[in-house]
Amino acid sequence: MDVRQNPKVRNGFTLIELLVVITVIAILTALLFPAFKGVQDQAKRTQARNDVTQIVTAVNAFYTEYGTYPLAAGTADVTVGGSGDANNALFTILRGLNATVNPRNIIFISPPDVKDPASPRSGIGRDGQYFDPWGKPYAVAIDGNYDGQINNPYGASGGAGSSPIRQGVIAWSLGKDGSLGLSGNFTGSDDVISWQ
């Protein structure tokens, strides 16, 4: 008997087959979600690494241009940003918006504006602060006393190199958890640093 001639025979899914297909799709989606989340986290870390490198380059370019570091008083090292601290004064200077400290209005760094000012991430917020991909201000330490070294924020035994660090400027992101390392220790933390 030909199937085309029998009106009771239908092509298509039965309800059971449809439920099985939906279940398989749900299981595959559940398996892929952690992998997708891992890729997203790695992309944020990569972006933060690029950002801290650009920050250090911008501050060093400012030093090359003017012979002094921005915000450096000449007596003590300066740290801006990080957990709750504002970094807007530094980035106003580096973006060429402070003619007193940057009289030539040179743009040393040009990060994008944040997409959502109510929840700032990955760019310059309404207040002029530069936020990392997780929404925390980038931290920057500058050799304000010009002795060629900066104290390591993680300490000498914190897993982030020696202390002091023999550089004029360092920058870091506190990562997804928003805190300085794991109990002050860099090893095993999600922080992103410029000096390693």
CA-closest candidate to residue 69, choices 139, 165, 146, 149: 146
pTM over the 0.85 mark: no
Backbone phi, then psi, for 86, in 5-degree steps? -85, 140
Q: How does pLDDT run across 43-96, given as a tens digit for each residue?
A: 999 999 999 999 999 999 999 999 999 987 778 899 999 876 789 999 999 999
- Average confidence score pLDDT of the chain: 89
Residue keyed to tokens 């805190």: 179
